[in-house]
Amino acid sequence: RLPDRSSYIWYKNGQKIQSETSPTYSVYYNSTDSYSCAVKGHEDFPSPPVCVDGQTCNRVIYTDRSICAFKGSSVDISCTYSSYDTITSKFWFSPHQSYQWQSPSRPEDLSEDSQFAGLVQVLESERGRSTLRITDLTESDSAQYHFKFTTRSFEWRSSLPGTTLTVTALQVQVTRITVHQSDTEAELKCHSSCSPAGRLSYVWFKNRQKVRGVETSSFKGRVYPGDIISCALKGHENYGSPSVYAPKLPSVSVSPSAEIVEGSSVTLTCSSDANPAAKYTWYMKNGDPDLQPLSKEPQLVFSFIQSSDSGEYYCTAENELGRRTSDYISIDVTYAPKLPSLSVSPSAEIVEGSSVTLTCSSDANPAANYTWYKEKQTLIQGREGFYHFSSISSEDRGNYYCKSE
């Protein structure tokens, strides 16, 4: 119901009459003119133009205000038109193509537009009726389309809306899901952003094989790991929806791929082919059945990696149709030797002639090499951090130290 104080817009020959806002309009008319009106704020829904006298005034009436069509299909956009004088030219145009016009104020014929070459036909099935046929539709064809004609003394330049075309692509939506141990029970819907007129029959495909007995927009069934499901309009099977499927086995990678040095920045990335897109979770292998996730993003980032971060990591990829777990990726963080510690065995009094071992140890990755010194004299080098006296003598008295690197 309209408000009591609605304002109105009046049009003469498709052009807005600026001064008129009342529901009635009085004018000295010319039999060549047509008139139309709309409620202010609802200009997309004007009345059809009417002739004041007779049926041969200047006017264009579109068969449909809006049309929904599927990607890849064809569409007919039609109008009826009349003119008081002989028409010298007529064509269809789309205002959203105006950036390509040589003069933005001068519409150009779609049938002569190179962008629509081979895709557009203009049909005249009867006098006073024109049909624009567009084939192999894409989403970029979504626009408003207008018909224009001229005579020797008149040009139909309408500010009234034409026919709005919306090109939609099918999508499979997951509407309900029940997860079992070996499969998933799913309810799917073949969805589009708008609905074409008429009764529609659908075709469902499972693993690229047609599912028999299902012609509605809904599909119910069990989905197993590896299954792929899509839908299409019957008769337009070549323009079906993208397939939906559970995540494939996730792949994991590490960056940088070279040696990982303590203190550097390291990123682990998890990726999986899935539709709907997968959600990712990162874990570290530690034997805990109730692992706390490290990250719920595709990437696990160590801004300043520590030696304690060494270990095996894995990720999961999950969407409404299933869940997969990656293989392990091993992270080995290298770091310089820590301050060495020294010990002597036995730790009790050292007696001449006894066996004595000095031990140097340092935490490092990779393992450190050790060098033993007495005072400033080098004694031995190697991976073993031991210096052994099989029969110690008084000549061995002195200060010993080691270096790890």
- Residue 3 is assigned to a structural domain of this protein: no
Torsions phi, psi for 249 (to 5 deg): -55, 120
Confidence of residue 142 (pLDDT cuts 50, 70, 90): very high
Q: What is the pLDDT of residues 1-13, one digit of tens each?
A: 556 667 888 888 8
Domain range for 122 is: 8-167
- Residue 1 is assigned to a structural domain of this protein: no
- Residue 2 is assigned to a structural domain of this protein: no
- Residue 366 is assigned to a structural domain of this protein: yes
Residues 226 and 282 in one domain: no
Residues 213 and 258 in one domain: no
Give the total number of structural domains in the chain: 4
Residues 211 and 98 in one domain: no
Residues 312 and 221 in one domain: no
Residues 95 and 126 in one domain: yes
Residues 203 and 299 in one domain: no
State the pLDDT at residue 296: 93
Where does a domain end: 101, 136, 167? 167
Q: What CATH number is attached to the domain comprising 270?
A: 2.60.40.10
- Residue 217 is assigned to a structural domain of this protein: yes
Return d(Cα 45, Cα 36) in angstroms, integer: 11
Residues 209 and 260 in one domain: no
What value does the mean pLDDT of the chain take? 86
Q: What is the pLDDT of residues 37-93, one digit of tens each?
A: 899 888 888 889 988 877 788 899 999 999 998 888 889 999 999 988 899 999 999
Q: What is the pLDDT of residues 144-201, one digit of tens each?
A: 999 999 999 888 877 889 999 999 889 998 888 887 777 788 899 998 888 777 778 8
Residues 12 and 97 in one domain: yes
372 neighbors 380 (Cβ within 8 angstroms): yes
Which range among 101-115, 124-138, 236-250, 325-339 shows the weakest confidence by mean pLDDT? Answer: 101-115
- Residue 272 is assigned to a structural domain of this protein: yes
Of the chain, the percentage scoring pLDDT greater than 70 comes to 96
Query: Who has greater pLDDT, 96 or 404?
Result: 404
Residues 228 and 265 in one domain: no
**What's the average model confidence in pLDDT over 261-267?**
90
Where does a domain end: 291, 315, 334? 334
Q: What CATH number is attached to the domain comprising 213?
A: 2.60.40
Q: Note if the pTM is more than 0.85.
A: no
State the pLDDT at residue 245: 93
> Mean pLDDT highest for which of 205-214, 271-280, 381-390?
271-280
State the pLDDT at residue 90: 92
- Residue 156 is assigned to a structural domain of this protein: yes
Where does a domain end: 147, 167, 187? 167
- Residue 40 is assigned to a structural domain of this protein: yes
Residues 32 and 154 in one domain: yes
Q: What is the pLDDT of residues 282-295, one digit of tens each?
A: 999 875 656 788 89
Longest Cα separation, the chain: 135
Residues 179 and 150 in one domain: no
Residues 217 and 269 in one domain: no
